[in-house]
């Protein structure tokens, strides 16, 4: 699509060509064409006013960026048919592109998922490729329905084999960076009311492996590590705004309309993650009980639905040294991947006549993989077996 600058430039060239003729016209036109192509091909730069960001040598990464100028979603880049989680269902027909934006739609649609009755469907677009460090930016307009739906721009890791050994010794099994969650209307325990539509959340989530079990580290129970917010002087439903986050090995920094609004030390967010856009269900249609999210079916309504979150673009930049994500661990002959470990254990259980329990074996693998690199090395297996024998022989209290 031609930009105003390009149109002005080509118009000026055409005016000047009327005073020339022959070969000179051809020469001038060729030069003009090259200049226009260069103008059109110029990579975008991050929308930020912070000199510390603008001064860095960012490289625009087209693989993780999308201007949404086509009539159809780029399915080679975006997965719009993700596995369901939460108390609503993701449906590919709820993701569309029109007028230079991607639109994610939430609709009131009562349906059955397994044995559970649910009342809403929505849209999510997630990039299949993963990335860890960089500057992530999207221009987003919130949805009209409030409260009840939360537009989000975020990154998260997938896969049980993803592990990272943090500097404090913790083994990280999940990384999630919420660049923004808009319009969540979460409960304010101080005022005993829900936060207004202008509250923008910029949070972190992770799970740590402790004694073979996953423990969540979330904004509400670890606010110093995970929790940020920005109280906007405008309503995010009314217009597009630019939301960004920079993830480095040392810091995670959030930006809104070019201004820094929050930062946290990067303790645990070093796993490969998927760039994601989604429109999630929130209060009053969702409640929490014993840490589990449940639907509030008695509150179901079609008032305000369908509602749309709109995204003008997603752009990603990386510094030269971060263009290659974390290297995978180098595997030796004595190292077993999770699949190899499970296969060998299955053969061993069959040989001994034991009833096969894959969940237990996979849990054992997480314990064996002490350094969290996704491999059960020979020394790790020996240490694990020695520990189990010692536990078995230890005197009972």
Residues marked active site are found at 176, 178, 181
Can you name the residues that pair with 127 across neighbouring β-strands?
78
Token pair 């760039």 is found at 275
User: Beta strand 116-122 with 89-90: parallel, antiparallel or unpaired?
Assistant: parallel
| Side-chain-facing half-sphere of 266: CA atoms under 13 Å | 21
């Amino acid at each position: 699509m031609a930009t105003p600058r390009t149109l002005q430039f080509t118009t000026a060239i055409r005016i000047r060509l009327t005073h020339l003729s022959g070969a000179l016209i051809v020469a001038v036109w060729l030069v003009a064409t090259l200049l226009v192509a260069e103008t059109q091909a110029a990579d975008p730069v991050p929308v930020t006013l912070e000199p510390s960001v603008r001064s860095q040598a960012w490289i625009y990464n087209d693989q993780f960026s999308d201007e949404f100028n086509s009539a159809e979603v780029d399915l080679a880049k975006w997965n719009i048919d993700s596995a369901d989680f939460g108390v609503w269902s993701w449906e590919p027909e709820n993701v569309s592109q029109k007028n230079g934006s991607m639109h994610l739609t939430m609709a009131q649609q009562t349906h059955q998922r397994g044995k559970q009755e649910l009342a809403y469907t929505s849209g999510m677009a997630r990039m299949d490729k993963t990335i860890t460090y960089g500057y992530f930016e999207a221009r987003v307009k919130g949805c009209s329905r409030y409260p009840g739906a939360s537009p989000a721009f975020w990154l998260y890791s997938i896969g049980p084999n993803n592990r990272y050994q943090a500097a404090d010794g913790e083994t990280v099994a999940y990384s999630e960076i919420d660049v923004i969650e808009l319009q969540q209307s979460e409960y304010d325990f101080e005022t005993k009311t829900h936060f207004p539509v202008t509250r923008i959340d910029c949070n972190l989530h992770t799970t740590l492996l402790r004694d073979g079990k996953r423990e969540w580290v979330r904004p509400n129970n670890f606010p110093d590590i995970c929790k940020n917010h920005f109280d906007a002087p405008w309503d995010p439903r009314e217009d597009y705004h630019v939301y960004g986050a920079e993830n480095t090995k040392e810091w995670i920094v959030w930006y809104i309309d070019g201004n820094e609004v929050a930062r946290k030390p990067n303790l645990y967010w070093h796993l490969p993650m998927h760039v994601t856009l989604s429109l999630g269900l929130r209060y009053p249609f969702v409640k929490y009980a014993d840490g589990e999210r449940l639907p509030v079916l008695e509150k179901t309504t079609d008032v305000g639905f369908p509602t749309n979150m709109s995204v003008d673009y997603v752009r990603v930049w990386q510094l030269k040294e971060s263009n290659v994500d974390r290297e995978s661990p180098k595997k030796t002959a004595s190292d077993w991947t999770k699949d190899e470990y499970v296969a060998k254990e299955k053969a061993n259980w069959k040989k001994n006549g034991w009833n096969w329990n894959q969940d237990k074996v996979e849990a054992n693998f997480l314990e064996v993989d002490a350094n969290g690199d996704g491999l059960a090395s020979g020394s790790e297996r020996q240490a694990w077996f020695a520990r189990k024998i010692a536990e078995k022989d230890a005197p009972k209290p």
